[in-house]
Amino acid sequence: MLETSARLLKLLSLLQTPRHWQGAELAERLSVSGRTVRNDVERLRGLGYPVDATRGSAGGYRLAAGASMPPLLLDDEEAVAVAIGLRTAAESAMEGVEETSLRALAKLEQVLPSRLRRRVGALRDHTVPVPADRRGTRVPTDTLVTIAGACRDNERLRFDYRNHSGSAGRRSTEPYGLVTWGRRWYLVAWDLDRADWRTFRADRIEPLTPTGPRFTPRDLPEGGDLAAYVSRRVSAAAWRYRASITVHAPAEAVTARISPAVGTVTAVDEHTSVLHTGADELETLAVYTGMLGVDFTVDDPPELVAHLRILADRYARAAPTL
């Protein structure tokens, strides 16, 4: 009985690799006959594992998706990776996944061998996260799952959307992918009403179900680099405050001091350029512009000009003339 159980576990471990196994291969790996392999496959099916079988010279076995989640066999590195991933997910910006991740982690740690539990525990006990410099947004897990499913199946997605000013509207899109940037999620989609590519913050999306009909995929912007596309769009339009700043330095020098996520730079002449940037807070804009290390003039918005004047007076009082 013990020998049979051990063989079943080894067979299950082989079948859980994403490939098609011929019966002769399994028999050789397990050092048994083809008949024993067939009998063991039936035992696994009786335990709830959906094992598909095909006949013929190219026939064999593979583990298929079933109606319920059967137990998984993980090697040492896989178990550690899953434990780390669950702990990271518990601290993510995905709303509603924290408790579920911690429950799964508790189950996994309970059955980990002591040698692996020590590795996971060392990482947990000796890792201290630095608090985010700004409060992150939370996205319901169901929202992300719905969006990702529509992207995967090339199905139109309708949703109610709140823009940065808080006003709501209904959008009809062809969704293509989710991009994570820090603690935010963005959907890249073709907006059917505007006939153009758009990015949408996932925390402002309320999907309408069921999803719509299937669509034929279009050529993606930025040559398919959705992360680069979101970076440019977010730096240009997705912030509460958007600023246009004349910088008294060449465009090449300004570009070298900022990342594409901060803004875009346009040359005016060989000595002057314009920085288009944005942020959710005026304080953030003031800090970024002050860190350019060169003279600048704020063209827009007026709120930033007023805030810089307040800061100038404050700094002047902080450094009185001796």
Tens digit of pLDDT for each residue in 36-81? Answer: 999 999 988 888 888 888 887 667 898 887 656 666 777 788 888 8
Q: Give the pLDDT of residue 234.
A: 67
What is the rounded distance in angstroms from the CA atom of residue 166 to the CA atom of residue 175?
22
More confident residue, 104 or 153: 153
User: Is the pLDDT at 179 greater than 50, yes or no?
Assistant: yes
Token reading at 3: 């020998």
Residue 132 banded pLDDT, cuts 50, 70, 90: low
Helices (H), the chain: 2-15, 23-30, 34-46, 76-90, 98-111, 114-125, 141-153, 226-237, 251-255, 282-290, 302-318
User: Is the pLDDT at 263 greater than 80, yes or no?
Assistant: no
H/E segment holding residue 190: strand 184-191
User: Is the pLDDT at 208 greater than 90, yes or no?
Assistant: yes
Q: Is the pTM of this model over 0.85?
A: no
More confident residue, 236 or 303: 303
Residues 288-292, mean pLDDT to the nearest whole number = 86
Residue appearing with tokens 């692996």: 116
Among 118-132, 155-169, 182-196, 277-291, the range scoring the smallest mean pLDDT is 118-132
Q: Sheet with 196-201: list strands edge to edge.
A: 196-201, 184-191, 168-181, 157-162, 205-208
Determine the 3-state secondary structure of 48 from DSSP. Answer: coil
Q: Give the pLDDT of residue 236.
A: 52
User: Is the pLDDT at 235 greater than 60, yes or no?
Assistant: no
Going by C-alpha positions, the residue among 81, 83, 37, 44 that lies closest to residue 60 is 37
CB-based burial, 30-43: b 16+ in 10 Å, e otherwise = beeeeebbeebbeb
Q: Give the pLDDT of residue 2.
A: 46
Residue appearing with tokens 């028999």: 27
Token reading at 166: 């808080």
